[in-house]
Amino acid sequence: MTAPNRSTLWAEIFVDELARAGLRYVCIAPGSRSTPLTIAFFQHADISVHSLLDERSAGFFALGMALASSQPVAVVCTSGTAASNFHPAVTEAYYAQIPLLVLTTDRPHELRHSGSNQTIDQLKMFGDHVRWFVDVGLPEADPSPLTMRSLRTLAARAVATTQGLPPGPVHLNLPFRKPLEPIPDSNDMLDQLRHDRVDGRINNLPFTRISQGNVAPSAEQIELLLNAIQNAPKGLIICGPRCDGNDFPQAISKLAQVTQYPILADALSGVRFGPHLNQNDVMILGSYETFLQSEITSRWESPDLIIRFGAMPTSKALGDHLATWADCRQIAISGSGLWQDDTHMLTHYMWADPAMTCRFVASQLRNIKLKNGSWRTQFEQAEKTAQEVFAKNRDETYFEGAILADVVDLLPIDALLYVASSLPVRHLDQFVPPDPKNLRVFANRGASGIDGTIASALGASKTTDYPLVLVIGDLAFYHDMNSLLALQRNQVKATIVLINNNGGGIFHRLPIANFDPPFTELFVTPHGLTFEPVVRMFGADYTAVTSRTEFRQTLQESIAAPTSRVIEVQTDSVLHEKLRRKIINKVTQKLT
């Protein structure tokens, strides 16, 4: 350590231990009070530093990196309202269980509540939206060995807690006194400190290695599932957003093979897309938002058993049915232990590793044949009908749902797809069928806000070599236009599909649409903006398209091109909603 004063030495030790604990990425917004941390991160060879000019973009950029990598990512800012701008990203990380390490810097204690410039109360400022908060002690001129050990173990514990059960954001508030820059301070007694109390473990090992095992299913849990399945030929598997584990798609496919249960796979589950779809005799469905209508399902037998994974489904129709299927067992299996059931219809909640549980159960059911052919057939026919009706209407009139289908159709075999909340994620979930491409699909659906979507997508892209396509609505784009700076500043190549329906198109789905005024002015909020100037200001290419043929050609060219491009598609949200309802009605007529 070569730090010339206590603050820089303190920061160097802390950052060194973060790296030893496995931290590899940090996003930094510029500021003065954070200077010791900024310098320490800049100098550390094992941590990749990403500079974002504003704190909200930095927070969401880090969130996207953590979401896509499933690894902790740190984000740093100065004191004051700079820290407040992290709150939306912290909230999303909390509800989406994303490992975000939030490092706010602060004035020393004597300047708090004193009227000192750029000083606010930062203690527990994110409330219950973090897994752990620590107001870190001030750097000392002559700290004890215990103090220095505690600084290293704090770093190790913070990284581990972001990845705990459940994972999520951790907030450390680090105060510093001046000098903040790497200049000597004659009052600091650093020579003896460097000699006796600074070094970590040899061979760059963590000072404290913190490990975590899987929550293995108990014998009682396995027995309960076996008995439930053996007595339930009419079963369903529901895979909601953010299902656990990299090997989960293969494990759930094995369970579906032996039970012959259909899988209703959310577009964000990690199950709807991927090479596991090539396995024989596994029924993975994606059109249930269209065909799960009461006029259709009232003619079907009710399920005997529903096995649920992940968060609550994006699909409203599926959520409504989960609330009405009251005469069957509903079993949720979660590796995090977090409750994910706003219907409160669960009969059993199992805290166990989902992939491990599926494999154990499937291995013991291999020779059991459930007689559920007619049960499967009705789902298979409904899926086929919904896709046929959608394809016919897409060919007749190009509308927003068709844009998402074309995006997935044209993505390469390995790709990263990020979709904004509000309508784009719903289009994806309703109209895009399962596909064996190795697609990694993400959205900010923990708290489901539309803010920070551009930054999150660009951050996710920094963790992979896969080409990135972001599909975003005009209001979400407007909320985060400043994050376009990261395209050049952080060297991200992206294709952004901007669906511009001039306002809040999703409100046309709600009863308030029948009350105008004030519906148009205060809910749809048409803005009349032209986005080309701002796109070009940030150095990206821009193309406006007016037809399906033009869109498909431009999208293919953009994915293959070396530069980023925004492809703007002007749409009519009223027409889209009419076509969506028309598709549902036609499917209903064909299946009743």
How large is the average pLDDT for residues 313-319? 97
Does position 183 have pLDDT exceeding 60, yes or no?
A: yes
Which residues have CB under 8 Å from 342's CB, separation 6+?
312, 319
* Residue 173 dihedral angles phi and psi, to the nearest 5°: -105, 115
Q: Would the pLDDT of 199 be above 80?
A: no
What is the amino acid identity at position 310?
G
Token duo for residue 181: 């820059």
Residue 194 — pLDDT band, cuts 50, 70, 90?
low
Block residue for tokens 């303190």: 10
Nearest Cα neighbor of 568 from 478, 439, 491, 492 is 478
Given a cut of 90, whether residue 491 has pLDDT beyond it is: yes
SS (H, E, C) 256-309: HHHHCCCEEECCCCCCCECHHHHCCCCCEECCHHHHCCHHHHCCCCCCCEEEEE
Q: How confident is the model at residue 142 (pLDDT cuts 50, 70, 90)?
A: confident
Minimum mean pLDDT among 108-117, 169-178, 187-196, 412-421: which range?
A: 187-196
Q: How many CB atoms lie within 10 A of CB 247?
A: 14
Residues 253/258/260/264 CA torsion (nearest 10 deg) = -20
CA atoms of 142 and 161, how far apart (whole Å): 29
Higher pLDDT, 195 or 525: 525
Spatial contact of 21 and 206, defined as CB atoms under 8 Å apart: yes
Nearest to 420, CA basis, from 378, 454, 386, 388: 454
| C-beta of residue 424 within 8 angstroms of C-beta of residue 500 | no
Mean pLDDT, rounded, of the chain? 94
DSSP assignment letter at 343 = T
Mean pLDDT, range 535-549, rounded to an integer: 97
CA distances in angstroms from 22 to 12, 40, 69, 204, 577, listed in the order given:
16, 16, 13, 11, 47
CATH class of 397-591: alpha beta
Bridge partners, 414 (sequence order): 438
Which of 44-68 are b and which e, b meaning 16 or more Cβ less than 10 Å from the residue's Cβ?
beebbebbbebbbbbbbbbbbbbbb
Q: What percent of the chain has pLDDT over 90?
A: 88
Q: What is the pLDDT of residues 503-530, one digit of tens each?
A: 999 999 999 999 999 999 999 999 999 9
Residue 536 to residue 544: CA distance in whole angstroms: 13
- Whole-number pLDDT of residue 198: 64
Domain with CATH 3.40.50.1220 in the chain: 219-373
Reported confidence tier of residue 191, pLDDT bands at 50, 70, 90: low
Quote the tokens at residue 199: 């070094």
pLDDT at position 338 is: 92
Per-residue model confidence as pLDDT tens digits over 569-582:
999 999 999 999 99
Q: Which residues lie closer than 8 Å to 519 by C-beta, 6 or more apart?
A: 507, 512, 513
Where are the domain boundaries for CATH 3.40.50.970 in the chain?
6-204, 397-591
The secondary structure element, H or E, covering residue 104 is strand 100-106
DSSP assigned state of 506: G
| Of the candidates 102, 103, 124, 122, the residue with the CA atom closest to the CA atom of residue 111 | 122
pLDDT exceeds cutoff 90 at 173: yes
Could you say which architecture CATH assigns to the domain 219-373?
3-Layer(aba) Sandwich (3.40)
How far apart CA 531 and CA 541 sit, in angstroms, is 12
pLDDT of residue 41: 98
Q: Scanning the structure block, which residue is given the tokens 């399920």?
A: 303
Please provide residue 101's backbone torsions phi and psi, each rounded to the nearest 5 degrees.
Answer: -105, 110
Among 26-30, 71-75, 252-256, 325-329, the minimum mean pLDDT is found in 325-329
Contacts of 337 (CB under 8 A, 6+ apart): 165, 166, 215, 351
Three-class secondary structure of residue 41 per DSSP: helix
| pTM reported for the whole predicted model | 0.95
For the domain bounded by 6-204, which CATH number is listed? 3.40.50.970
Spatial separation of the C-alpha atoms in residues 265 and 439, rounded to whole Å: 14
> So what's the pLDDT on residue 203?
85
Angle (nearest 5°) at CA 159 between 453 and 106: 75
Least confident of 193-202, 507-516, 539-548: 193-202
Q: Are 453 and 417 in contact (CB under 8 A)?
A: no
